[in-house]
Amino acid sequence: MTNALEVSDLHVTLAGSHVLQGISLNVPVGGVTALLGRNGVGKTTTLRALLGLVASTGAISVLGTDVRGWATHRIVRLGVGYVPEDRDVFAGLTVAENLRLAERIEAPRYDDVYAIFPELRERSGQRAGTMSGGQQQMVSIARALLNGWPLLLIDEPSKGLAPRLVGELADALARVATLATVLLVEQNLALVRRLAQRIIVLDHGEVVHTGDAQELDDPDLAKRFLGVSGVK
Amino acid sequence: MNVFLALTFSGIALGAIYFLAASGLSLIYGLMDILNFAHGLFMTLGAYVAWDVASHLPTSWGAPLLFSIAVVASIIGGALAAGLTEVLLIRPLYGRPVSQILVTIGLDLAVVGLLLGGFGSNSLSIPVPLWLIEASRVGGLDLPNSNFVALVAGVVILVALELFLHRTRYGITIRAGVENRDMVSALGINVGRAFTLVFVIGGAMAGLAGLLYAVVFSGDLISPTQGDSLLIFAFIVVVIGGLGSIRGSAVAALVVGLVQDYTNFYLGSHSGMAEIGNLSVVLLLALVLEWRPRGLFGSTL
């Protein structure tokens, strides 16, 4: 298996809007591939479609298995961790309960989790809803890491975080990327530039560019596809 | 003062039965967004299964044993009815809330019609031990033993539910599912199993509520439409307590039971309006919704 993810002609229609219009992309095993694009081009919808959280048509292969028509929990159990855009921690549950809920293997890898996020060990009895945005992000990433899944889908992890926390998050994600293949949706291009080896750019529900992450240094590309003046 | 204390005890017992009827309904709505109009049917079926089982056993076994078996039968009957409803009728309609409402209403009407056709509209009598229709003297008051049974059942179920929801993996899954069903699936959990389990638990409690309501407040008599009458108050309790909140249901059930009992006695006897307690409960619902539109305990478990 050379690709952790293979997607062909993926279409999604939400509330009458044709959000994804035939996306085809591959995510090779290992490293970080960033899925980029302006707001509303379908990045989050792509991740949700890969997990079966929204109805789609087209071919999706996850870790070498054709998952068309599969329920979300079956796709996840192939070995996919998911960190959603808004963290989606269970606010009424404690940190320990959030993590316990994510356990899918006999010996969950709490050592890996606590090595990256030692703070979570101290806060295990705290309700997740009372934590800061950065702490909730730790819980969300920790849930995805706990089973040592080979593929992680991470959606805008820096969203809403203070700049200081983004730096800490980048360090944590760099360590996460040594443990699994990562498909990363992110608006913070500096973070992408630091973490990713490959980029896939979406626009108007289609893949418009695929290439090396170093291309983000090219101000023309950044401006043309992403509407920004390049990575600072 | 003695009258007030007796009314309070009776209101608490009524609240305990409302809690049994409402808590399952609340969990089902909280987790699955389903307004389950068949929940009253689970109460009715629980009572009828209890009656059927008890009436087919030899009377020589004695009323206490027969009643104990009837209690277990009501729980199993309600659970089975709810589980089958979820698997056969609700599951094919996931994501279609209007169809789910219609199918639960249709099921209720159809089965109540069948019960009326099969057993007639006359009430049937549940065999109960003598001590259950007697009273105990406590602090100078004669309190009905059946009220003690309802109270104990309510407290036991509340404690059991709390332990289940907070100490077991399935319980944690259900609490998480009430918050965010998609995210539970995205952690690799088959939410469908949690749905069925919640229906079964809700049905079990509804079945017990159906039997206890007959024993405590209907003179040991069951009828095909008793569940539907109880369902209205269960919905009111769920909305006042907060959709999906077990603790909210417990508090709201207590308040509704007390308000209904006090109003029936103090205002009903003076105004001549026999059902003024029901009106007071609806007014209470309106006041709570005006003050806290999400109910007393919001949407947390």
Give the nearest partner residue to A53 out of B182, B192, B300, using CB atoms: B182
Q: Using DSSP, how many helices (H) and how many strands (E) does chain B show?
A: 12, 4
Q: Is residue B299 scored above 70 in pLDDT?
A: no
Q: Token pair for residue B63?
A: 């009323």
d(CA B290, CA B301): 22
CB A81 within 8 A of CB A151: yes
Give the nearest partner residue to B188 out of A84, A93, A104, using CB atoms: A104
What pLDDT does B29 receive? 86
Give the nearest partner residue to B176 out of A71, A93, A104, using CB atoms: A93
Give the nearest partner residue to B301 out of A77, A92, A147, using CB atoms: A92
What pLDDT does A228 receive? 61
Of A110-119, B110-119, B215-224, the poorest mean pLDDT is in B215-224
Q: Which residue of B has its CA nearest to A81?
A: B187
CB B225 within 8 A of CB B137: no
What pLDDT does B252 receive? 96
Q: Is residue B148 scored above 80 in pLDDT?
A: yes
Contacts with A154 from chain B: Cβ below 8 Å: none
Q: Token pair for residue B70?
A: 């009837």
On average, the pLDDT of chain A sits at 92
Residues B192-246 have pLDDT tens digits of 898 899 999 999 999 999 999 999 988 888 999 999 999 999 999 999 999 888 9
Q: Token pair for residue A176?
A: 């996460």
Shortest distance between the Cα of B190 and any Cα of chain A, in A, equals: 6
**In 3-state terms, what secondary structure has residue A71?**
coil
| A73 contacts B189? CB cut-off 8 A | yes
Residues B90-108 have pLDDT tens digits of 999 987 889 999 999 999 9
| A100 contacts B180? CB cut-off 8 A | no
Query: Whats the size of chain A, residue-wise?
Result: 232
Shortest distance between the Cα of A54 and any Cα of chain B, in A, equals: 10
What pLDDT does A226 receive? 72
DSSP letters spanning A132-186 = -HHHHHHHHHHHHHTT--SEEEEE-TTTT--HHHHHHHHHHHHHHTTTSEEEEE-
- Chain B interface, mutation test: which of A51, A72, A76, A93, most B Cβ atoms within 10 Å? A72
Task: For residues A125-149, give the mean pLDDT.
Answer: 94
- Chain A interface, mutation test: which of B31, B168, B187, most A Cβ atoms within 10 Å? B187
> CATH assignment of A3-226, given 3.90.470.10, 3.40.50.300, 3.30.70.270, 3.40.50.720?
3.40.50.300
d(CA B183, CA B189): 9
What pLDDT does B300 receive? 46
What pLDDT does B121 receive? 82
Beta strands B135-138 and B141-144 are antiparallel
Contacts with B169 from chain A: Cβ below 8 Å: 100-101
Query: Whats the size of chain B, residue-wise?
Result: 301
CB atoms within 10 A of CB A12: 21
CA atoms within 13 A on the CB side of B86: 26
d(CA B190, CA A73): 6
Q: Domain limits of chain B?
A: 12-224
The H or E element that residue B68 is part of is: helix B63-85
What pLDDT does A153 receive? 97
| B183 contacts A76? CB cut-off 8 A | no
**In 3-state terms, what secondary structure has residue B27?**
helix
d(CA A48, CA A221): 27
Contacts with A54 from chain B: Cβ below 8 Å: none
- The torsion defined by the Cα of B38, B41, B190 and A112, in degrees rounded to 10, comes to 100
